[in-house]
Structure 1
Amino acid sequence: MKVGDRIRVKASVVVYHHPEHRNEPFDIKGMEGELRSVIRDWNGRPISANYPFLVQFEGKFRSHLHDTEIELVAESDPVVAMAAQASAAL
């Protein structure tokens, strides 16, 4: 996976920081977002982050995830790809 790819949460991941469900458990399984960064180094030194994938979902919601929790979304349809890019820009 690379930065800019469209991904989907494939595992059950419960978060407590979702803007619409603040301070209550919210499962993000099935949500789709854009991979914003992959954390591999810090100040030029290699690190092994526990949750290296930063995913931007709709609005202000983003979350750090593990590679076993996410999957790449196949965007074979150009209309779907354009819609995904437009929603990520918001």
Structure 2
Amino acid sequence: MQPGDKVVVSANVVVFNHPQHRGEAFDMQGSSGEVVSVLNEWKGRPISPTLPVIVAFGRYKAHFRSDELSVAD
């Protein structure tokens, strides 16, 4: 995945900090957004984050694993 790719959440991912559903469980499955960045280095050094893909859904951004996302057509 590259920054700028359109993606859809293909797995059940429950978040509690979604702006329209604060404090309650919200399943992100089926939501579509755009990849903002893929984290693989910090200050020039390689890193291996647990949730490396940052996806923007309008103003809301969330971190995902690559297997939780699928590229949208």
TM-score (norm 1): 0.79
Unaligned runs of 5+ in 2: none
Work out which structure has the larger RCO, using CA pairs closer than 8 Å and 6 or more positions apart in sequence: 2
The structure in which a higher percent of residues are helix is: 1
| Aligned sequence identity (%) | 42
- Runs of 4 or more off by more than 3 Å in structure 1? none
Unaligned runs of 5+ in 1: 75-90
The structure in which a higher percent of residues are strand is: 2
1:29 maps onto 2:61 in alignment: no
Number of residue pairs aligned between Structure 1 and Structure 2: 73
Q: CA RMSD in A?
A: 0.6
1:69 maps onto 2:62 in alignment: no
1:8 maps onto 2:41 in alignment: no
Task: Provide Cα deviations, 1:35-84, integer angstroms capped at 9, x if missing partner.
Answer: 000000011000001000000002x211000011000011xxxxxxxxxx
